[in-house]
Structure 1
Amino acid sequence: MATSEDIKKEFIRSGFTLVEEDEILETCVTLCINYSLKPSELVASWEIYHLNRQSTDQTVKNDEMDGFLLHLQNQQKEAMMKEEAGLHTYSNRDVDMLLDGIPEDTADEIVTTPTNKSQRLVPDSFDSVSRSRDYGYSTGKSVGHVTPFGQRGEKFVVKFRIGDVAAQSENGDNNDVENSEDDMIIKKVQTRRRCSLKVNGIGPEPGCRFMYDKTEDKLNALEKRIVRHADAFVASGLYEELVDPAVASQRSIFAVGMICCDGEGHLNDKSILLQSSAERTSGQRVPLDLNRLNQFSIFPGQIVAVEGQNPSGHYLTASKLVDTLPLTPTADVDLPPAKKQNLDQEALTLTDESRENSEVSFIIASGPFTTQDNLLFEPLNELLAHAKRKPPQLLVLLGPFVDSEHPEIEKGAVDATFSEIFQVEVIRRVQEYVEFMGSEVRVILVPSIRDANHDCIFPQPPFDIHIPDLEHQITSLSNPGTFEANQVKVGCCTVDVLKHLSVEEISRNPSGVPTDRMARLASHLLRQRSFYPLYPPPESLPYDSSIAPQALRISSIPDILLLPSKMIYFVKVLSIGEGEDAAKCVCVNPGRLSKGEGAGTFVELTYKGDPETVHASIISI
């Protein structure tokens, strides 16, 4: 066993002096144990590392140990790759012979036509460790080391399910999901019909100018929101003409404004203010009393309509509060009249039969796509392997991909740029998946403000991805973004708006009446017609008021709303409105694909023309 004295002697013999000697020797002893090195071998590796850095200083410093660790890991990778150089790699032809029962001695005499990519055979699930050897930018644990993720016991376990189980089995989601990893029989992929895809470009474009917003931009954005909602309430014909809530009146009045907090802290019963429009009324803030209401749910930035009394001009006592914008699912009050008319005509021409044919299957996963102890991207490997066994029409990957909060990224202990890590560890894997599966599958990538290789701004432009021959299959969306797949409208936002709302929201419900808090938080986005209705945003969110108003607007209620969050995963059917006119939407929080050093969850979902008939499973990877 290597000792500190032996290692110190080897360093001195090679002409090196140690700074912070105790810490360095302790680290070196650990490295000798982990990598089965003798003191002489360790010092020889240090000399190579020292020469590669072209350093003239003959001292060994403790802050250089992280870089030396990466050097040792790369040496281990190269050594193991050389050892496996003589292994036989089975081709598709070899597997075809096994499945079709072709004798090995006659295989060379048979001439066959190469199969289509979509009909290729699905391999066994990836060996996450061995696959990562192809990618030179992974750091963390040694390649030969079995990670906690690789040692997990239960794989692909269904945590939650809604919809008909039998119908899900037809889509490939059967009861042996958790046992599919151990299935040694290679199955042929069933060809799926390719779905149509239409991206609604309302977000910022790649390379856009940002973080130049002024105070005037922020004021104008808030004013337009209040005016737009006020016009919608009046246009519905269900409410009276607007009155300035700050003006004293002995009769009941109707006012529209934004909920604000009277102070720097969180909202509470005593600090609720209502800010009206400066264009339509005085624009002043008036204290709002909600004690007469037995049910409400409010947060800063929410636009509400209030019926009540303000006899003194100093306090508005609410008798009714409306937080839902009275719009049809296809209308947008801020569009020009001609555009509105076209949308109405499109809604009328969308027959019941066409809606029934609006069917599409999804796999939805949200980053991080690698565990906290390494950058091997094992969870992403496993997800793509699962998608090969049970291919969806649309694979939706929500950032972060190169997570800026990952310990290795935060320390800068990587030997490549963030863009290189993204290209090699993420895009390359996705490209291989698409090429293997053929033209029937599509992949959508949505960035996150936590992506170290992308603009840290919200709203966020899409990734600038250009892959020849695959641009029609790999698509990047803005954050937030919307798209249509087989006429199914989908909206998504990777900012954790549910968590932000949960911190700021206050609510009151009748005693004894059960409530679904997660459904209520998600419903706020649809009721406010905004992907991020909270204002002011937290300091951690790089919110840009100059590009936010248009990019954050939900012009029509989507069929599916994707809201990845650290909060508990769920699939819920939300109802906005009352009676037969109520609009329904499937809201999905897939959870995180990796959690710490362990596995997370993702969602398999099949939409069949109506939110009430959706089939979905939340699966632990």
Structure 2
Amino acid sequence: MDAVNRKLLSDKFGVFLDDESLLDQLVDLCRNYNLSGEDIFYKWEAKYLSLGHSSIRPRVTAEAVDALKSQLQDDAKKAKKHAQAVAAGRANLNAKMSMNLFGRVAVKSEPKEQKLFPSSSSLGVPEAKWMAAGPSKVTVSCPNLQNIPPMGQRYRYMYQKISERGEALDDQIEETAELVQSFYNIEEFGDPAKSTEEETTIVGRIVFDADSTSASAVKLNEATLTLEASRSMGSGVRVSLRLDPNVRLKGAKKGIGGVGFFPGAIVALRGSNGGGGWFTVTEVLPLPSLPAPTALGSNGSFSVSVACGPFTADADLSYEPWKLLLAKWKTEKPEIIIIVGPFIDCMHALWKNGEVDEPPIAQFRSMILEPLQQLLDSLPGTSVVVVPSVRDLISDYAVFPQAELASSVFDDPRIYSIPNPSQLSLNGVSFAVSSVDVLFHLRKEEFFKPMSEISSAPLAENETPASDAMAKLCRHVLQQRSFYPIFPPPLDLVNEVNLDVTHSGKLKLAEDTAPLVLILPSKLKQFHKTVDETVAVNPSFATKGTYANIKILSGKPVQVDICKLSE
């Protein structure tokens, strides 16, 4: 390009150049200001005519080139200011046009990195502990909540790199493979795409085949079962699975009757690839269970009440179920109250249709927070743990995993805000809680294949029969060691999750022990089940008129009552 501009400038100015070096300076101006040689000539011509020169072209001197350079600099500054003014005007117009009913301005901007809630395990710091305000005898601690900068952990939802998502998904497979290898004493895993006459053990993720996706109406079935290997264990290939007619399930809970497959499930399989383009499965190996929860010590007995939003009916914002809950708690006097969002639900018809005049935070404080604080004033031995929902209008984060509600929302030492999902300890008793309806999603996506059982494991004392449908769903969460093991989420339910794959590590259950109590709110009928020595509780929603009371008694099994607001 410089050569072209040099020729143009030489032709235009020719003998009028005082010095050949001035031609080099003119070429530099072309390059620096992204102009052609012809543009430079026209600007030069306009300048000397504006100064009153005659039509006889003056000599091109060093001073004249410097003057032209100054003019180009001034023109560039003016153009930049004009562009900024235009952009500001457009942004202001867009802001006025997109002012939403919450009084917030929606201005389009470049994606900014947002801070993610920190993890004590990743930061190498001890877990946060609080003694409940007043004479409460319950100590609350949450390992994944710290008042420490997140050290570079960021939210980039919808702006993640494909490589980052791929690495996160691969890590899930490889971490599970290590557990399987250690538990079953496997020397080496096979490549599911490699032809072999001998049986081999493989680990991978269940996915749809190429012709079916979770976005389609086709549900996972035996004909569409496909396994995806990690890049290190099988070059990331996808191989169709065919279940042998005599496929067996080895080492599962007695009476479970088969295996539930769903998109995203990590599985361990035995079989072979005979070269026909598929892997024939002859045996399914259940994933190792988490270590049993610690037995209840002598830390004293206490009660926990759990209620889940929405807390007002679809037709109004009177919050009648919430008022009934407050009345119940005033009578029952639990030591700990766990409330799970949404509190101000973005899916509520009145909010969606723009029929609410006050900001969400104002309604939260008047309808939820202030009545709750009045209750705590009358119950000095009670503390509250708050878990947000991705549907909460008062949350700064609408992705899962989700940071806790901002500290500005609460200003009360008796109320503890924790992330979604979370694992927390109450007097040393492990609780796990999430607001996403993973049970309904699993029920919708699961394909159950009956199989014969060999080397079955006995049920624990007081454990729910393994064939129980709800117990099977809860077992998926525990065995996959994830609050949300499905990937990808069902298309028609994706707005209930907004799954951030790159931070899926925040969805893991703690590796050291299973939670004693697992709280999974769902639109499925309320229940409590004992699964692998973990008590799984679905309190359902306050709008359905139910909540759960849990009693922790030293040296005794956990007691759970599903209570009705109307009683």
| Interval of TM-score (by shorter of Structure 1 and Structure 2) | 0.5 to 0.7
Question: Cα RMSD between the aligned structures?
Answer: 2.7
Q: Given the superposition, is the C-alpha separation of residues 605 and 215 from structure 1 closer, same or farther in structure 2, using an over 3 Å criterion? A: same
Q: Which residue of 1 aligns with 2:539?
A: 590
Provide the residue aligned with 1:550 in structure 2. Answer: 506
Runs of 5+ unmatched residues, structure 2: 1-100, 102-133, 249-257, 453-464
Task: After TM superposition, give the deviation of residue 356 of structure 1 in Å.
Answer: 4.7
Question: Which residue does the alignment assign to 1:442?
Answer: 383
AA of the residue aligned to 1:620: K
Residue 234 of structure 2 aligns to a residue in which SS? coil
- CA distance in 1 between counterparts of 2:436 and 2:223 reads 30
Within the alignment, does 1:320 sit opposite 2:283 as a pair? yes
Shift of 1:192: 7.9
Misfit runs of 4+, over 4 Å = 202-208, 466-469
1:431 counterpart residue number:
373
Q: Greater RCO between the two (CA within 8 Å, min separation 6)?
A: 1
Q: Residues 415, 208 of structure 1: CA spacing in aligned structure 2 closer, same or farther, 3 A cutoff?
A: farther
- Equivalences for residues 74-93 of structure 1 within 5 A: none
Which residue is equivalent to 2:265? 302
The residue that corresponds to 1:187 in the other structure is none
Residue type of the partner of 2:321?
P
Map 1:120-139 → 2, pairs under 5 A: none
Distance 2:370 2:206 in 1: 47
Q: Return the alpha-carbon distance in structure 2 between the equivalents of residues 551 and 307 of structure 1.
A: 28
Say if 2:516 is the partner of 1:571: no
Distance 2:149 2:365 in 1: 20
Letter aligned with residue 209 of structure 1: Y
Distance across 2 between alignment mates of 1:407 and 1:523 = 35
CA spacing shift, 1:280–1:326, aligned 2, 3 Å: farther
Tell me, in whole angstroms, the C-alpha distance in 2 between the residues paired with 1:267 and 1:385: 45
* Structure 1 equivalent of residue 473 of structure 2: 521
- Does structure 1 residue 287 correspond to structure 2 residue 240? yes
Cα deviation, 1:522-554, whole Å, max 9, x if unaligned, reads 110100000000001133231112222234444
| Partner in structure 2 of residue 267 of structure 1 | 220
Matched, 1:200 2:143: yes
Contact 1:210/1:457 (8 A) holds in 2? no
Q: How far apart are the structure 2 equivalents of 1:358 and 1:487?
A: 10
Residue matched to 1:474: 415
**Distance change in 2, residues 1:533/1:358 (3 Å):** farther
* Cα distance, 1:309 vs structure 2: 1.8
Give matches, 1:343-362, under 5 Å: 355-357=297-299, 359-362=301-304
CA distance in 2, matches of 1:426, 1:470: 14
**In structure 2, what is the equivalent of residue 463 of structure 1?**
405
Q: Matches of 1:421 and 1:236 in 2, distance apart?
A: 52
In structure 1, stretches of 5+ residues that fail to align are 1-66, 68-190, 331-349, 576-583
SS in 1 for 2:305: strand
Secondary structure of the residue that 1:355 maps to in structure 2?
coil
> Would the aligned equivalents of 2:311 and 2:322 in 1 still touch at CA under 8 Å?
yes
Please tell me whether residue 369 in structure 1 is matched to residue 311 in structure 2. Answer: yes
TM-score, normalisation: structure 1 = 0.60
SS where residue 533 of structure 1 aligns? Answer: coil
Instruction: Return 412-421 or 283-292, whichever deviates more.
Output: 283-292
Counterpart of 2:247, as a letter, is L
Map 1:161-176 to 2 at 5 A.
Answer: none
Q: How far off is 1:475 after superposition?
A: 0.6
Q: Is 1:209 matched with 2:165?
A: no
Quick one: distance in 1 between partners of 2:280 and 2:246?
8
Q: Residue 192 of structure 2 aligns to which amino acid in structure 1?
A: P
1:380 maps to 2:322? yes
Is 1:605 aligned to 2:550, yes or no?
yes
1:416 aligns with 2:358: yes
Aligned partners of 2:289 and 2:478 also within 8 Å: no
Looking at structure 2, the residues matched to 467 and 257 of structure 1 have their Cα atoms a distance apart, in angstroms, of 42
- Any idea what the Cα deviations from partners look like across 1:481-500, whole Å, max 9, x if unmatched? 11000111011110110111
Aligned partners of 2:290 and 2:514 also within 8 Å: no
Residues 324 and 608 (structure 1), Cα distance of their counterparts in 2 relative to 1, 3 Å cut = farther
Distance 1:356 1:586, change over 3 A: farther
Higher-Rg member (1/2): 2
**In the alignment, what sits opposite 1:11?**
none
Taking structure 2 as the reference length, what is the TM-score of the superposition? Answer: 0.65
Q: 1:594 to 1:467 in 2, by over 3 A?
A: closer
Q: Secondary structure at the match of 2:222?
A: coil
